[in-house]
Structure 1
């Protein structure tokens, strides 16, 4: 298998404990996967940018018609994109935590540097959540990352086993918690007289979630930016607290797996090409087939609110894990041989993933909210994917020329400066 690690030249002097990872120390496979993931995350989130948040998993919340073509596009997104791109990003976040600490330990630093780095990320995440877009994942990554850092000295085998067992336990909990509401609200099981009160409460919760989305929709369409922020702070201030525990059932195990796989050499040629290709394709094909089966079930269930919630979160974690690991294996195996202009631009987008992630949110808010282009609720699902394609072109267009002239993406540079408490040169 081609070596994916770019070997650094021997330094003339011992590196500083306060220096960030240099370009020569990067692992190109990580950059490529991160580039694909940050582009894919937009494809997953575009519906929640351009339509009410509930429309992400509930097509009846669309303010435009969601016809048969859109239904099949929803299934395609569910199979290929949903949860897989976030899963890849989470896996790489875990690998990145260890990679950062590996360099920090080599320079005489301690885990407190990583803890402060995560605290800075948490501030970015809170700003993103309350001011820009409520679909933020950065603050959850930061909070969950705090739990990973104390375990970095564990053996890689222990980290892998812990991550795998925790993921399976989390998958079972998700299934147990989310199957019950579906059974009550949307199957004949809930028609029993003893279930009438419970079913009514389920419908009430669904209506409340949609009603809250209608309030936000009014703010977004009118362009009342201050009112939208006030609503988020007053009505959703506790969401990050509850969501971090919910997300941790998936994200914490994936971060452990990312740490362990990095240490096993998964991202840098530590496994044979035969194994990476065989298990990669098995994971992708098997996981996609299982997820497509869930997609057909959702279509037969008319994409009901609780059916969607159960399938997206409760029943898909195992196929999701198969696809995340399979996609990662295939990209690690094949990406070193991809040296064309597109591959180089994807790697550049991955190197500037932080800027691309937050920058995309800012651009999408400007495109859809009333104070910008005012397209919120105006575009159907196919049109939203056109916006996604245009945003991908923009990511690929700016990232490489910028990094040809500058050492880091703008927000990557700011994060490094805040992490180390000093100004680093930005221009090459």
Structure 2
């Protein structure tokens, strides 16, 4: 292992902004299937609605796990950027792996993570229990101890964390094999749906139960290793200049072949009739998403390098990622629980897809208009203010970023 990792303070990357914009818009393509009802996701009709099998296949290949995986990678990138800024500002050289007690550059990052976890807790309890911010904050508290590690060691640790995450998730998936979810419209489905569209106190009970289950059981034992590994992979990719220059042609072909192989394996497991294969497919879809999400990032980087202004709309969305992520939950829950709860019984996959695409266009418009008057999103500004104590208004915020959803 070499001495400590240090770097010059990085400039804001339009590549990363555009990739983050794609990720936050893409997340809603899947989250919309879970909003308003249980976190079991889309309830199938019996028989299947026209177009549902094809759209399920398309979603499995291109959407499911892809954008949340990309978002997790970018969270690690944000941590690496903030660490580089802190190291440069302090003019210090600290090998955190060799000297974990020496943490002058970690304290500001920890404060930001604690504020983010507070956002996640409030979001999960009072708006929608499918929150990822609390899980991100907890997982990042592990990942940050590798921010100063030597590059090869960081890559090796990321692979080890991901391998452990795969193994643990596989054990959980096989242990929790259950019966197929009830079809939409059945008495069982309606009974399960009732608390979610009932009174707000009933919904809070559901939120509290699910948040407790996820953060006391699922996260520490199952998801932490995967999330921390993905963040560490993001750190490694950032320090390897992936987000500036992409990959060589040879490495891109290798990544494409890996993606095809893992997607094929996932589709085989998903199509299998044996319960064990179905359980395994719950894990293979997560890990098949890793190379696919990197291919999405490569495509963005290539377009940005060839045509710097072509993806300006995605860049604007990426700058407001935290605010738009929370807004997605507010709008989704408001629409499906309060304004149009009948859609939970009526919508098929094509309806959800069209609704998500429509809301994606609205988010692009919101970001475009908002950034004409301000330089930071409202929650990005609040996050920075609570973490650092700075009192600048959103429209006058400095460009010094926070980790995670803002560079």
TM-score, normalised by the number of residues in structure 2: 0.82
- Structure 1: how far apart are the matches of 2:124 and 2:189? 15
Alignment-derived partner of residue 132 in structure 1: 127
* Compared CA separation, residues 221 and 378, structure 1 to 2 (3 A): farther
Deviation at 1:309, TM superposition (A): 4.2
Q: Please, which runs of 5 or more residues in structure 1 have no aligned partner?
A: 1-7, 9-20, 183-201
Deviation at 1:215, TM superposition (A): 5.8
Contact 2:36 2:196 in 1 (8 A): no
Map Cα deviations across residues 69-127 of structure 1 (whole Å, 9 max, x no partner): 21221121111111111111111111111111111222226211100100000011111
Distance 2:119 2:192 in 1: 22
Distance between the aligned counterparts of 1:361 and 1:65, measured in 2? 30
- Answer yes or no: is the 8 Å Cα contact 2:33–2:352 preserved in 1: yes
CA distance in 2: counterparts of 1:284 and 1:117, whole angstroms: 34
Distance (Å, rounded) in 2 between the aligned partners of 1:427 and 1:178: 47
Kept after mapping to 2: 8 A contact 1:66/1:380: no
For residues 285 and 47 of structure 2, the distance between their equivalents in structure 1, rounded to whole angstroms, comes to: 27
**1:404 shift after superposition:** 2.8
Secondary structure of 1:55's partner? Answer: coil
**Cα distance in structure 2, aligned partners of 1:169 and 1:377:** 39
Partner of 2:94 in structure 1? none
Quote the residue 1:312 is aligned against: 282
Aligned to 1:326: 295
Partner of 1:14: none
Counterpart of 2:216 in structure 1 is 241
1:387 to 352, 355, 361: 355
Report 1:266-415 matches (<5 A): 266-269=242-245, 273-275=248-250, 277-295=252-270, 297=271, 308-313=278-283, 315-339=284-308, 343-370=311-338, 372-374=339-341, 375-415=343-383
Decide whether the 8 Å contact of 2:37 with 2:197 is kept in 1.
Answer: no
Q: How far has the Cα of 1:394 moved from its partner?
A: 0.7
Residues 36 and 344 in structure 2, CA contact (< 8 A), matched pair in contact too: yes
State the Cα distance separating 1:285 from its structure 2 match: 3.8
Select which of 92, 95, 105 maps to 2:74. 92
Instruction: Return closer, same or farther for 1:361/1:338 CA change in 2, 3 Å cut-off.
Output: farther
Whose helix proportion is higher, 1 or 2?
1
Once superposed, which parts of structure 1, at least 4 consecutive aligned residues long, lie more than 6 Å away?
210-213
Q: CA deviation at 1:366?
A: 1.0
2:89 aligned to which of 107, 121, 125: 107
1:275 is displaced (CA, Å) by 4.3
Distance 1:126 1:82 in 2: 24
Tell me whether 1:228 sits opposite 2:203 in the alignment: yes
Q: Deviations over 1:51-81 (max 9, x none)?
A: 543234xx44x6x864252122112111111
| 1:212–1:412 Cα change, 3 Å | farther
Query: CA shift at 1:388, angstroms?
Result: 0.2
Task: Quickly say closer, same or farther: Cα 1:36–1:418, change in 2 above 3 A.
Answer: same
Question: Which residues of structure 2 form unaligned runs of 5+?
Answer: 1-7, 91-103, 397-407
1:15-54 correspondence to structure 2 within 5 Å: 25-54=11-40
Contact kept in structure 2, 1:283 and 1:326, CA below 8 Å: no
